[in-house]
Structures are given as structure tokens and as C-alpha cells.
Chain A
Amino acid sequence: GQNIDQPTEMTATEGAIVQINCTYQTSGFNGLFWYQQHAGEAPTFLSYNVLDGLEEKGRFSSFLSRSKGYSYLLLKELQMKDSASYLCAVRVAGNTPLVFGKGTRLSVIA
């Protein structure tokens, strides 16, 4: 089967940097997505990685190492509004549905 692991919960301080890790063991790989989901709301797209390396988008960056089956989402200059669940999802092959991890609930404290 397909397996995607993320920490269940993390806590970080406002203004700090936090790294949310995601490891995957899947039968194939055709891209990795990160979504943000605030409580009671829809997941919203944050980033997509298909090649190794770092993708930067404002305060958020995402890194991928395909050889290690590993990705992380880096959030800088944390704000209270960043308190949310962060979902890692892998597309195993073209035209197949995304496989999601169970999500990491991030709490940003003052």
C-alpha cells in the first residue's frame, strides 16, 4: 500500500520558523503537494514539487528529495493565522488520485 507519514501536532512561536516533515513510501511518484486547512474550512493549495530541491513562495517553502522519499514545508515569520493543519499528498502516477497523509496540526502561540 501507499504510506505517507507526518507528525500529528506541532507548536511554534509567533515570528519563528517551523519545518513540517513528510515521508512517503509509495509504489510510484509523480509529484508531491502541500495543502493548508484551517479548522472547518476547505484545504487550500500551498505548493507542488516534482523535482528535487526547494520551491520558495513568500513565507512558505517546500523541499523534496525523491531518493529519500522526503519532503518538508518550511514556514517563516510565523503568524497566528498560520495555525492550521498542513496536509502532505503524493500523486503516485499520472491520472491517479492524490494520497494524503493524516495532516499536521500546527499551533502558533504568542
Chain B
Amino acid sequence: KAGVTQTPRYLIKTRGQQVTLSCSPISGHRSVSWYQQTPGQGLQFLFEYFSETQRNKGNFPGRFSGRQFSNSRSEMNVSTLELGDSALYLCASSLQSSAGGETQYFGPGTRLLVL
């Protein structure tokens, strides 16, 4: 079974631009979560989608948004990029939802550099 895939793997943008990242979960998985990983802050939760609905949202500004499609694929968008948005963006999928012992499987991430 194919794992979680994310595109693109690397991205360079300039301040003020916007970016869209894509995540395809493991086949059959309905929950997709997004995380931002930086050396100083570690993994920080952005949002989770389940059956096309945002179930949970982290403490990020409204410039960060996402959506999920009927095939469970998910996209996240960051508008008006800032230098501090440079990070590894990780997507994780799980079978039903982020509940209990449900294991999340991570994709390889998209490394975003904002200049």
C-alpha cells in the first residue's frame, strides 16, 4: 500500500507570495492532519480534516488555511508569506480520525523556504 505523499517536496517563495501544498493520504484513510516543523518549535499542529470537514485547528493565523476533497486528498494554503513561515510542512493520515490509539502516518513533508 502506498504511503502518504506530499507535493512539492521543496519550494522557494518570496515574502508576500502565497503557496499551496498538497497531501495524498494512504488509501482508505479519511483523516488528514497538517503540522509545521521548525528547529526551534518542533512539530506544531495546524489543522485536521476528516470527511471534508475541519475537525481541529491549531493556533496559527488565518493566513494558514486548508481543505479536504471527497477523495480525502488535502491541500493547505499559506497566503502573504512571511520569513517565519520557512519550515517543513508535514501531512499525516489516519484511518478514521485522530482519536485514541489511532496511529498517524506521516508523509515526507514539503520544505518551504521564504526569502
Contact = CB atoms under 8 A, between A and B. Distances in A.
Contact of A41 (B4, B43, B48, B108): B108
Interface residues of B, number: 25
A98 B90 contact: no
Given A102-B41, A102-B42, A44 B100 contact: no
Given A96-B98, A97-B58, A98-B98, A42 B103 contact: no
B25 interface: no
A97 B35 CA distance: 10
A97 B33 contact: yes
A91 B100 contact: yes
B109 interface: yes
A56 B33 CA distance: 28
A97 B98 contact: yes
A87 B103 contact: no
A57 to B, nearest CB: 13
A37 to B, nearest CB: 8
Interface string A28-72: 001101010000011111001010000000000000000000000
Nearest to A6: B42
Given A97-B45, A103-B42, 13 more contacts: A30-B100, A35-B106, A42-B107, A42-B109, A44-B106, A45-B104, A50-B100, A91-B98, A94-B100, A97-B56, A100-B43, A102-B41, A103-B43
